[in-house]
Amino acid sequence: MLKRTTAADYFADIAAALTTKGGHLSIGRGGFTLHYSDGAMLSGYGCEQIKAQSIAAGLPVIDSRNVDLDIVLQLTLGGPLVAVGRDPEPAPWHGLSYAPLRAVAADYAAAGAEVWNIPGIETMAAPAKRRTGP
């Protein structure tokens, strides 16, 4: 029998992500993925509760739901992966390479994604055609 997950179940996973280099929460149209160790992820669909808990805990969050789908696909397929629990590869980065969280978050922020808890990186205004939200 499947056990129903409650909001309180996320605290241990968020704590693990906070202690992992590159640990973060990514949110997109298909739900969320909490990256908390090299190769370890937690995925789901209840985005708002885990987003609020992650932000409050100080965990880096990248929410790309308001970015045009074509831009998100370019970033996801052509851009690097976040080096979670491992050392990043040297620049320049490309698809399937591992980059620091800061570098990946900066690309998403430049496209208009919401970025939280990464010092020096803020959501940047994107042209209206790149955003699907209000």
Q: Which residue shows structure tokens 């994107």?
A: 126
- Report residue 134's pLDDT band, with 50, 70 and 90 as the boundaries: very low
Give the amino acid at 124. Answer: M
pLDDT of residue 9: 74
Per domain, the residue ranges of the chain are 7-130
Q: Report the distance separating Cα 127 and Cα 93, nearest Å.
A: 25
pLDDT of residue 133: 42
Give the model confidence (pLDDT) of 74-126 as tens digits.
999 999 999 999 999 999 999 999 999 999 999 999 999 999 999 999 776 55
Pairs from 37-40 (Cβ < 8 Å, separation ≥ 24): 37/84, 37/85, 38/84, 38/85, 38/86, 39/85, 40/16, 40/85
More confident residue, 134 or 7: 7
